Amino acid sequence: MNKKAYTTIDGQAESLLVIHKSRFIGFAVNVATAEEANETLERIRKQYWDATHNCYAYVIGHENPLEKASDDGEPGGTAGVPMLEVLKKNGLTDILVVSTRYFGGVKLGAGGLTRAYAASVSETLGQANIVRWEPCEIFRQNVEYDIWARIEPKLAAAGAMILEQAYLDTVHLKIGLLEENKPSVIALLKEALKTDDVLEYMATDYAKVKRD
């Protein structure tokens, strides 16, 4: 498989930090393209039209990720880049973070701004549901109800990811398998179904296999 595992967030998250009377409203969201990130940015700018700054950073892509950061009027290098560094330090991609600042009347200085914007992103990520996606092979398998009742916990223990299940004439399963788990799952199904004809290959795709 040529695909590589990656880590991102599910959905979106928000946070609020008050630092020397300035309010930093943090926002993070899963995005798949630069266009999607820009559309979200425009929405946030309209929502917080009266804010002093709407600084942002994003990382998009898995092989050669696209990175962008903006200080949005803050002194150069004090906002966007520190925000981007937090994303990179956490190994995140397909994510946009925005820190909206309402100036509170106290200047923070370059060092203070750098720490504040980095802290805003870290606080937001602390509220986010961080997930890891790994490439796996997707298979189809139908199982009789009585057999399914016996093998469901065994499949999970063997590392099978049940991506979909439909209760029809039989239990229709879509199963995701990492390469290292295939032998044990195949052996389990062959024994349970009394046949060598198991696991119809469908595709290679990403599956959510770990939550950090």
Helix/strand/coil (H/E/C) assignment for every residue in 138-203: EEEEEECHHHHHHHHHHHHHCCCEEEEEEECCCEEEEEEECHHHHHHHHHHHHHHHCCCCCCEEEE
| CA-closest candidate to residue 84, choices 97, 102, 103, 100 | 97
Q: How confident is the model at residue 206 (pLDDT cuts 50, 70, 90)?
A: confident
Look at residue 37 and give its three-state secondary structure.
helix
Residue 101, beta-bridge partner list: 24, 53
Q: Does the structure show a pLDDT above 60 at 211?
A: no
DSSP string, 70-125: E-TTSSTTSSHHHHHHHHHHTTB-SEEEEEEEE--S---HHHHHHHHHHHHHHHHH
Mean per-residue pLDDT for 66-80? Answer: 97
pLDDT digits (tens, 9 = 90+) for 79-128: 999 999 999 999 999 999 999 999 999 999 999 999 999 999 999 999 99
Structure tokens at 125: 């990520």
Identify the pLDDT of residue 212: 44
Identify the pLDDT of residue 210: 56
pTM: 0.80
Identify the pLDDT of residue 73: 95
Give the separation between CA 87 and CA 58, rounded to whole angstroms.
Answer: 8
pLDDT digits (tens, 9 = 90+) for 166-203: 999 999 999 999 888 999 999 999 999 999 999 999 99
Is there a contact between 163 and 138 (Cβ–Cβ < 8 Å)? yes
Identify the pLDDT of residue 179: 86
Q: How confident is the model at residue 2 (pLDDT cuts 50, 70, 90)?
A: low
Look at residue 4 and give its three-state secondary structure.
coil
Mean per-residue pLDDT for 66-85? Answer: 97
Identify the pLDDT of residue 205: 85
Structure tokens at 192: 């349970």
Domains of the chain: 6-127 (3.30.230.30), 134-211 (3.30.70.120)
Q: How far is C-alpha 140 from the chain's CA centre?
A: 26
Identify the pLDDT of residue 62: 85
H or E element at residue 66? strand 66-70
pLDDT digits (tens, 9 = 90+) for 14-57: 999 999 999 999 999 999 999 999 999 999 999 999 999 999 99
Is there a contact between 78 and 71 (Cβ–Cβ < 8 Å)? yes
* Sign of the alpha-carbon dihedral angle for 109, 112, 118, 124: negative
